[in-house]
Amino acid sequence: MKRTCIAAALSLSASMPGLAQDHLRTPVSEAWSGPYVGVVAGAASGRGATQSVVGCGVNGFLCDPVHYPENGAALGAAASGSSLHTSATAGVLAGYNWRSGLFVYGAEADASALHLSSNHGGSRSSLNLGLTNPGPVPVIATIGSSAKIDGLATLRARAGYLVAPSLLVYATGGVALTKLTVTNGYTDDWQFNGGAVGGSRSSARVFGAAFGAGLEWNVARSWTLRAEYLHASFGARSTTGDIFVVQVPAARNTFGSSGKLRADLFRLGSTFSF
C-alpha cells in the first residue's frame, strides 16, 4: 500500500508541469487580436449635487448687507443638495486588441446615450418681513437648481488576462466626455410690482475620468459577449444670474448655482472582430 501511494504521488508530481502548460498550449481565438466593433446596453446610476447662493447686494430686495441676510441663506439652502438618479443606457464601441501570450491589451472608444439629472428646490415662506401680501401674508418663493448630463463618450486603455482561452478578465481606464448643463430659477407670489423672477443656465462639454473592469467571453470565432462596470466623474460647472423685481429691475439679488455629476454604468455588450 505504501509503495502504491508513493508511486501515485510520483506520477502526479511528474504530470504537474504538463497540466500547468495545458492552458498555454490550448489554441487562443483570433478574437483577442485586431480591430473590433460592438454594442452595449444596460443601466446607469448618477450621483449629483448642486450648491446655490443668493447674494445680498446693496440693491437687494430679498436681503441686503444689513437687512435679512438669513432670508438669502434660507433660499440658497432650499436650492442645494445631492440626489441619486437612474437611467437606461445604450451605445456603440470600437477598439483594437493586441495579444502577448495570455495578456491582452489595447484601446477602446465608446459613445452612449443616457439621461442623468440632479434636481433640488422647493417653496418656502419669506423671512423678509417687508415681502408680504395683503393680510399681511408672507410671500411664498419657489426656487430650484439642477445639473444634468445627456450622453457619455469615453476613450480608454484596456489590459486583461486570459484565465481561459475563451475568457478574458480586464481592467480599463481613460478619459470621459459629456455635456453638463446647470440651471437655476426663482419665482414668487408677491402681489406688488409684478412680483420677482430670475434664473440662469450654463451648458458646456466637460472632460472627466473613466475607469472600470469586466469579463469578456469568446462565444464564436469572431464574436464575444461582455459584462462591464464603468465609472465616470466630472468636475463642477457654475451658472450665475439675477433675481429681480419685474416692475423695478434695479432691485435685484444675484443667484448662483454650481453642479456636478458622476455616473456608474452596468452594461452588457457584444463585439465582432475582423
pLDDT in single tens digits along all 274 residues of the chain: 334 433 433 343 344 344 334 444 556 777 799 999 999 999 999 999 999 999 999 999 999 999 999 999 999 999 999 999 999 999 999 999 999 999 999 999 999 999 999 999 999 999 888 899 999 999 999 999 999 998 999 999 999 999 999 999 999 999 999 999 999 999 999 999 999 999 999 999 999 999 999 999 999 889 999 999 999 999 899 999 999 999 999 999 999 999 999 999 999 999 999 9
Answer yes or no: is 12 within a domain: no
Answer yes or no: is 161 within a domain: yes
Answer yes or no: is 2 within a domain: no
* CA atoms of 229 and 274, how far apart (whole Å): 25
Beta 103-125 vs 34-54: how paired, if at all? unpaired
Q: How many helices (H) and strands (E) does the chain have?
A: 2, 11
Answer yes or no: is 8 within a domain: no
Residue 172 pLDDT: 98
Task: Name the residue range of residue 98's domain.
Answer: 30-273
In order of 8, 269, 271, the CA distances from 165 in angstroms are 30, 19, 17
Q: What residues contact 252, with CB distance under 8 A and at least 6 apart?
A: 57, 59, 60, 61, 198, 242, 243, 244, 245
Residue 13 pLDDT: 39
Number of domains in the chain: 1
For 65-120, what is each residue's pLDDT tens digit? 999 999 999 999 999 999 999 999 999 999 999 999 999 999 999 999 999 999 99
* CA atoms of 196 and 170, how far apart (whole Å): 56
Answer yes or no: is 1 within a domain: no
Q: What residues contact 100, with CB distance under 8 A and at least 6 apart?
A: none
Answer yes or no: is 122 within a domain: yes
In the block, which residue shows the cell 443638495? 81
* Half-sphere exposure for 81 (CA within 13 Å, toward CB): 17
The H-assigned helical ranges of the chain are: 2-25, 69-78
Answer yes or no: is 154 within a domain: yes
Contact criterion met (CB below 8 Å) for 144 and 184:
yes
CA proximity to 126, closest of 182, 210, 39, 60: 60
Contact criterion met (CB below 8 Å) for 232 and 210:
yes
One-character DSSP codes across 212-271: EEEEEEE-SSSEEEEEEEEEEEE--EEEEEEEEETTEEEEEEEEEEEEEEEEEEEEEEEE
Answer yes or no: is 105 within a domain: yes
